[in-house]
Structure formats: structure tokens, C-alpha cells
Structure 1
Amino acid sequence: MSKDPDLELVKRFKEEGSLESFRALYERYKDKVFSTAFAICGNYAEAADVSQETFFLIYRKIKRFSFKSRFSTWVYRLTVNVAVEKRRSRKEFLALSEIGEEVFEHTGDTPLETLERTERDALLNRSLRHLSPKLRTVIVLRYFQGLSYEEISSILGISMGTVKSRLFRAHRELSPLLQRPPFSAPPGGQEDAWQGN
């Protein structure tokens, strides 16, 4: 295993209770934790709640971190677990249609480029909501966070073969959805399916 870039910060926080080290870890991971939570929960407010709870757990459980895995792997595992539990506690899963400016903010684009990017983001998020939670999670970790198969395997507690199999199934399910024009209805003519009805 290569040297964990967070090792010194984690050690100082774990052994000395250094709040400065915790703040540095927070700054390093806050965007990654939030974007992972948002992609799984599909809702800005819930993603913010998941982020807050994840960092609370990091603060509370840091003494249990044993350095057997990279700190980033541990953080992602906590984030996924908290996000999945939050979603499970709801009767109804919210669609990934609440695309806020604060999440997809792009500067320096022309109005046409902004519109095209917004449509692409909307299409991707509508398509992702059609995946099962298991398939959505591997897509989020692989492509939103750029994690390796090995890291995803460790985070989710599944074999690398299972990671690859889920990614293959996710690609197969996403492919026809991503080929459709942004505002067309899904197969079967369910015009209101995109609205989550």
C-alpha cells in the first residue's frame, strides 16, 4: 500500500486531539463527502445532513481507525453507509432532479455552453435515478470520485469481480437512457416518470 497522504494529519488528530489537523482533514474531504452524499441521496439538504453526520462520526470514531486501510477509504465507507441509511429511513427515494447552482456551478461559460452543460447534468442525474442503489453507488465512487476497483471493493466490502460486474450492469442500463434527448420520456411512454410520479 502506498503512503497515505493523510497519515500525519490523522496521527496528530488521533493521538493529540489536534483540532487544526481535523480542520485540515475537513477542508480536504468536505467536497468529496458532499458530492458522494448528493449523488446517492439526490437532495441538497439531505446531502448536507449526511456530510455533517459523516464528519461527526469521523471526529467521534477516529480513535478506532487502525490504519489498515487508507483514511480516504474509511471516509468514503462512512459516507456511503450514512447516505444509504438516510435513504433507507425514507419511504420514498427522492429523484436526482434537484440540480442546484451550488452543486453544478460553472464559471466562464457562454450562455449556450451553460445551457448545454445544464442539460447534460440533468440527463445524467435523471438517468442515474433509474439505477438500483447498489449500481448507483459503484458509479458514484468510480466516476464521480475517481476511485479504483480495489478502493471501491474495500469501501463496499465486496470483491473486485462484483465491483466490475455492477459497473458493467450499470453501463448497460445507463446506455439507452443517455442516448435519449434530454426531455424525452423513458421507454414505455410514461411521460411523468421523470418527475418521480
Structure 2
Amino acid sequence: MTKKREFDKDYFLWERFKKGDNKAFFSIYDKFFDTLFNYGLHFSRDKDLIKDCIHDLFLDLYKYREKLSEIDNIRFYLLRSLRRLIHKEKSRKISALRGEQILMQNDIPQMAFEDNLIAIETESENNRVLGEVMKVLSDRQREGLLLKYEQNLSYKEIAYILGISVESARTSVYRALKDLRKALKKKGFSMQVLFIFLRNRNLIL
């Protein structure tokens, strides 16, 4: 299926949902729940929080469906919306903490990208090293790689989700790969380590 046909399919499915078609609503939910959940894991280890945010997202969509704008890519619209909800919920929880709890919580909101890498195969030396070098990247660089190579989004879509320009999105991903190459080289590893990881995740660099 071409990208244009995918967009057309999303457009008509979204329009049916907006007009009150419950079957279309549940089709969207079933189609994108797993993608949203896996994406949410990169922002929080709290699986219940992620599920609550996804459910809140769909409740809001259903409640305000008649006021929603036209879209031609449901997936990245939902990814952007979930990202905002998770950050909002985490900020709310952090602001409610006091004293020592705040200090402890401040260490939590780090993206779990490198932890997820290591978890794929904890006994693998390559994954261990890759997990370590991922820490040299900023949160935005890690998220850019995630959106580009796991979600297969375009730079335009990445820019929309992150709230930056297309050129900034492209530069962020390029610099992330450059920093990874440099960090891997210092540890005596080549970029093949990264290629292996991407291949194992059925991704293409």
C-alpha cells in the first residue's frame, strides 16, 4: 500500500469516526493501541500510567470528535497527542510531591530508550555497549531516533511531534548518529553494533 493510499484510508476512517461511527472509533483504538503503548514506554516505566493516558486520549477524542480537525495520518496525530498527555501527567505528579520525594522523582523522568535497548538481550555485549553509548545522547536525540527508525516517521512528521523545524529534526537525527559513531569508536566498537540492533528490530537505517 502506497503512502498516499494509507493517508486516504486514514482520512476516510477519521471522517467516519468524527461523524459518530462507533465501529470506526474502535477500529482506530484496536489498530493503534499497541503502537501507542510501546511509544509511551520511552517516556515512562509506569505501564499503568501509559494505559491511563491512552484511555484518556481516546475518551477525549470520542467526547470532542465533532470538533476535531481533518487529518490524513492518524498514527502520528495520536503519537503527538499521547506524548503531550504523558508529559502533562508526569508534570502533575511531580508538582504534587514535596521534599525528598521531589528529589527522588527528579531522577525518574529520563527517557527509557537505553534501558529498553539493554532489556532486549541483557546477556549480549553489543546491546550492553549500545545501551551505554546511548546515554551520551540528549533526550531529544534519542526520541528523534525512536521516531525515525522505530516508528518510521518522516522528518516532517518528527518535526511536528517534537515541535521543531524539519531541518532541526533532520539535524538532530544526523548528530545523534554521529555522536553514536564517536562513542562506539571510543569503546572499540564499530557502527555494526547499531546496525545489528536496528536489524533485530526490523528497522532500516
- TM-score, normalised via structure 1 length: 0.66
Q: Is the 1:34–1:47 Cα contact (8 Å) retained in structure 2?
A: yes
CA-to-partner distance for each residue in 1:145-184, whole Å, 9 max, x for gaps?
A: 0101121122233211000111122223333555659xxx
Partner in structure 1 of residue 51 of structure 2: 48
The Cα shift of 1:77 comes to 1.2
Ranges of 4+ aligned residues in structure 1 off by more than 6 Å? none
CA-to-partner distance for each residue in 1:16-72, whole Å, 9 max, x for gaps?
A: 2x2221111011111111111112334434433333333333333433321155322
Counterparts of 1:71-86 in structure 2, within 5 Å, are: 71-86=74-89
The aligned amino acid for 2:58 is F
The aligned amino acid for 2:147 is L
| 2:29 counterpart (26, 30, 42) | 26
Structure 1 unmatched runs, 5+: 105-112, 182-197
Partner in structure 2 of residue 138 of structure 1: 144
- TM-score, normalised via structure 2 length: 0.64
Q: Is the 1:42–1:94 Cα contact (8 Å) retained in structure 2?
A: no
RMSD: 3.4
Q: In structure 2, do the counterparts of structure 1 residues 127 and 163 end up closer, same or farther at CA, with 3 Å as the change threshold?
A: same
Q: Is the 2:11–2:72 Cα contact (8 Å) retained in structure 1?
A: no
Structure 2 unmatched runs, 5+: 95-105, 189-205
Q: In structure 2, do the counterparts of structure 1 residues 167 and 38 end up closer, same or farther at CA, with 3 Å as the change threshold?
A: same
Partner in structure 2 of residue 107 of structure 1: none
Number of equivalent positions: 169
Q: In structure 2, do the counterparts of structure 1 residues 78 and 171 end up closer, same or farther at CA, with 3 Å as the change threshold?
A: same
Counterparts of 1:1-197 in structure 2, within 5 Å, are: 2=4, 3-16=7-20, 18-89=21-92, 90=94, 91-94=106-109, 96=112, 99=116, 115-116=123-124, 124=130, 127-128=133-134, 130-177=136-183, 180=187
Q: In structure 2, do the counterparts of structure 1 residues 132 and 177 end up closer, same or farther at CA, with 3 Å as the change threshold?
A: same
Matched residues in 2 for 1:87 and 1:170: separation?
26
3-state DSSP class of the match of 1:40? coil
3-state DSSP class of the match of 2:144? helix
Q: In structure 2, do the counterparts of structure 1 residues 34 and 178 end up closer, same or farther at CA, with 3 Å as the change threshold?
A: farther
- Identity of counterpart residues, as a percentage? 23
Q: Is the 1:51–1:79 Cα contact (8 Å) retained in structure 2?
A: yes
The Cα shift of 1:114 comes to 8.9
Matched residues in 2 for 1:9 and 1:33: separation?
18
Matched residues in 2 for 1:62 and 1:122: separation?
45
Matched residues in 2 for 1:58 and 1:124: separation?
38
Matched residues in 2 for 1:167 and 1:129: separation?
15
Q: In structure 2, do the counterparts of structure 1 residues 34 and 19 end up closer, same or farther at CA, with 3 Å as the change threshold?
A: same
Query: Larger relative CO (CA 8 A, sep 6+): 1 or 2?
Result: 1
**Structure with greater proportional helix content:** 2
